[in-house]
Structure 1
């Protein structure tokens, strides 16, 4: 397993196509947090996010096994595009749009925490993250989506433009206006993070 973690995504995919199931497991573990976080922020439901995350990898496995996967770009942006499309499909089915709401579920930012902090630090971080989530909830959907994909999905603006079917300039503009709006909210509420 340690040897597999040193392989690139492309090498892991090639290894999986030749029958090494552990290569797929390494690939899933490598990108799990970024994919799940992005899905969670779009659907704002822990269980739905887990279901969509599983569907993403079912699609990935089917595509790789059928030989339709081509190394046009990086694996993660491709997987993020699948995740985004599945989220959009879900909201089309239930005829509603993604809304970021406050929830009492486990804070997603704890998933990203790799070290144990003291209780006071955890409380301060949780309060800051909750403030950010509250403010994100107040942004227009297109601005919120670009911020989530950029900061939590770690996608480039070119990748965001492809996923959201807009130009790179539009994605940049949405990001700019989203950040301006977040700053205004922070100034109005006198919030310091």
Structure 2
């Protein structure tokens, strides 16, 4: 028995060969909806605006904004610098500007998501319909196969009965012929 070298492939003749899995595209029913353009298109501005709107709801954004506000107020109240004194009008203006841009961007992201959800729902509905149609076809084929099997069983029963009747007839004829030939051999006169 020779030892296998690291470069030589080791094959086990007893091991079963695993069937190759075909790549199944799980989104194949959604591809027919890929041509659907969202309300605001797929240009770089729309994609970046949507990404920015999604960023508004993240903990990173909220933490960063809170840190900036705390630093802003801390720097102005400590007396280190006073570019925005107590009523913090500049900070209020910054929040208003942020809200003025955030609201449309969030609406844009929601509209785009709604368009995607509708396309996916349409694809899912078409997939369910295709499954129902395929199931109905399989059921019809099964019913047809069952009817054919029943018909074949009935034919088999009839043939078996005919075979039995013919076998009984052959047996009767054989007994008659045997009786006739045996009687002639015994009675030579």
Q: TM bucket by the smaller chain?
A: under 0.3
Structure of larger gyration radius = 2
Question: What is the TM-score when the length of structure 1 is the normalising length?
Answer: 0.19
Question: What is the TM-score when the length of structure 2 is the normalising length?
Answer: 0.20
More RCO (CA 8 Å, sep 6+): 2
